[in-house]
């Protein structure tokens, strides 16, 4: 007997939050904002190049694997898919750090891409045993990076991070503990980046 529609329905707001604030989206937009703040137009261009190197290869790989039926979906909902895929994605993020060094990017971008690589690496290791929320980690880290760049006013975006976190639980993608762990890892990555940049 099929489940009632009310049980199987995925709330639109939760789906929207998970897609609009997905890690790949944040990893594309955030560097450009930080780069522009650090070095104007040149910083924005360098950040865009770095974001492309960090996001496009990994996202292309994930979408290819979804199409071939090798992974469940682009959010890597099956924990077993995560370690190997995230390790491959990490290669692109590390390459973006090297690219920023070669191009002479401002320190803020070097630290940002470096912290992205570190956070992704930690999440990949944790995912061997436990499905920590990448969405929550990316959301918390992004908000922290904006605060480090612009001061406290980006904290007005805290409800968005909360919305993202709740959406992952509502969609049954994660348990509350997995989301809280992701938030904690993202916040720690942001703090570490802020300490490095002074």
pLDDT at 3 > cutoff 50: no
Q: How far apart are CA 144 and CA 126, in angstroms?
A: 21
Instruction: Measure CA 73 to chain center.
Output: 16
Structure tokens at 39: 């070095």
Taking the domains of the chain in order of start, what are their residue ranges?
A: 12-197
Query: pLDDT tens digits, residue range 55-74?
Result: 998 889 888 988 988 888 88
77 three-class SS:
coil
In the predicted model, is pLDDT for residue 9 greater than 80?
A: no
| Exposure class string for 96-122: b at 16+ Cβ within 10 A, else e | bbebbeeeebbebbbbbbbbbbbbbee
pTM value?
0.89
Pairwise CA distance, residues 126 & 118, whole Å: 12
d(CA 110, CA 57): 19
State the sign of the Cα–Cα–Cα–Cα dihedral 118, 63, 184, 124. Answer: negative
What band does 8 get if pLDDT is binned at 50, 70 and 90?
Answer: low
Terminal-residue alpha carbon distance, the chain: 60
Percent over 70 (pLDDT), the chain: 95
The conformation of residue 1, written as its DSSP 8-state character, comes to -
Least confident of 38-42, 60-64, 151-155, 162-166: 60-64
Q: Which tens digit of pLDDT belongs to each residue from 27-45?
A: 999 999 999 999 999 999 9
d(CA 108, CA 191) in angstroms, rounded, equals: 13
Q: How far apart are CA 48 and CA 146, in angstroms?
A: 17
CB atoms inside a 10 Å sphere around CB 64: 11
Q: Report the C-alpha gap between 70 and 72 in whole angstroms.
A: 7
């Amino acid at each position: 007997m099929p489940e009632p529609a009310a049980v199987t329905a995925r709330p639109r707001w939760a789906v929207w939050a998970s897609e609009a604030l997905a890690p790949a989206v944040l990893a594309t937009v955030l560097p450009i904002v930080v780069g522009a703040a650090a070095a104007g137009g040149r910083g924005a261009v360098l950040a865009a190049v770095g974001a492309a190197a960090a996001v496009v290869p990994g996202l292309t790989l994930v979408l290819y694997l979804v199409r071939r039926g090798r992974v469940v979906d682009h959010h890597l909902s099956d924990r077993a898919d995560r370690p190997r895929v995230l390790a491959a994605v990490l290669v692109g993020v590390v390459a973006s750090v090297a690219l920023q060094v070669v191009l002479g990017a401002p320190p803020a971008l070097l630290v940002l891409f470096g912290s992205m690589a570190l956070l992704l690496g930690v999440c990949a290791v944790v995912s061997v045993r436990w499905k920590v929320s990448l969405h929550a980690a990316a959301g918390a880290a992004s908000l922290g990076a904006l605060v480090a760049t612009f001061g406290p006013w980006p904290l007005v975006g805290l409800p968005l991070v909360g919305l993202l976190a709740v959406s992952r639980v509502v969609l049954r993608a994660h348990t509350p503990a997995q989301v809280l762990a992701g938030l904690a890892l993202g916040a720690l990555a942001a703090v570490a980046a802020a300490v490095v940049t002074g």
